[in-house]
Amino acid sequence: MKEHHLILRVVTKSLVGTIILFAFYVQFHGDFSPGGGFQAGVIMAVAFILYGIVFGLHEVQRVLPAWVVHKLVALGVLVYAGTGIWNMFLGYEFLHYGSFTPDHMSHGQHSGILYVEAGVGITVTGVMVAIYYAFAGRTPRLGNDDW
Amino acid sequence: MTETIVNFILFSMLVITAFAIVRQDRLFTVVMLASVFSLLTAMLFIALDAVDVAFTEAAVGAGISTVLMLGTIALTARGAKPASRPNTLPLLVVLVTGAGLVYGTLDMPNFGDPEAPSNVHLSPHYLTNSIEEIDVPNVVTSILASYRGFDTLGETAVVFAAGIGVLMILSGLRHRRRKDEEEEEDA
């Protein structure tokens, strides 16, 4: 397989970790600053897509196999809806996060938002990476002159 | 005053980018310009103080969409086909639709109008009560994840459904098994 330029590979390797860290920051700091599950999911997916673009689909799928990604797509929705159903088991309405800590409603809101944002992030990451895999899996490799 | 100038410059650049996209034949250039268009839109959202939306636009519009469009180009063709028929009818449709949309905005409240329905009771409720009820400093998050939790669940389901749909189209279920076998033979 034709390898990309050395500088591209080195820079990518150093960037991927930072991007994933930033994704987690956006995910868990969404309560205090711009961002949340949707944005964090996309950023997380970008880390894997960047790795895939530079090192090839095969390499990135050793880290994150396609079957895991397909499970993630569904897992996020299940986490989100599961949070709501959990609230119902605790005796409140669907997605009434206050039910996690009935004595101090706003604490429950914190945990509820954390869970549903995690669900959103997982699904968005899964969908973005899955679509990239689907595209890249069918793409004939292009030389620089083909563009 | 400064904001007006910034908005004016950004909107002018949007229009210029749009015309540049229309006049291009090479799809690679079109995709890159579309990415520029998204970044400009993100800057406009920042000028409107909608940082969360700007964040999404920059990440999704300028980032992921560009990659996916490039993937699509790689699968299909590098250049646009020259139009075989005259453009009069499409132009007419676009003009009529555009006029209809502009007509529709005439009934909308002005930007930042304090008398606008959403600014009369809904926004003040969120802004004054969200710290007490949700205790999350970023009101956007408390609206998105808690007040409008059902909407966001629906959005997540839409992302899920869209992802499944794209996967089913791209994987071409009927041909997949045969293709996999071919690939195994190649390997």
B55 burial class (0-12, 13-18, 19+ CB within 10 angstroms)?
Answer: buried
Residue B146 corresponds to which tokens in the numbers above?
Answer: 């808690």
Tell me which residues of chain B have a pLDDT lower than 70: 172-187
pLDDT-above-90 percentage for chain B: 36
B70: CB partners within 8 A, 6+ apart: B28, B31
pLDDT at A27 over 80: yes
Determine the residue type at B119: N
Provide, as residue numbers in chain B, all residues whose Cβ is less than 8 Å from the Cβ of A35: 52, 55
Joined tokens for residue A29: 């700091």
B133 vs A109: CA distance, rounded Å = 8
- Could you give the 3-state DSSP secondary structure of residue B26? strand
Q: Residues of A with CB below 8 A from B167's CB?
A: 70, 130-131, 134
Sorting pLDDT into bands at 50, 70 and 90, what band is A141? low
* Distance from C-alpha of A107 to C-alpha of A97, rounded to nearest angstrom: 9
Residue of B56, B63, B72 with shortest CB distance to A38 = B56
Cβ within 8 Å, pair A84-B163: no
Q: What percent of chain A has pLDDT over 70?
A: 91
Select from A39, A112, A124 the Cβ nearest to the Cβ of B146: A112
Q: Which residues of B touch A33 (CB under 8 A)?
A: 138
Q: Where are the domains of chain A?
A: 6-146
* Chain A interface mutation, best of B53, B64, B69, highest count of A Cβ atoms under 10 Å: B64
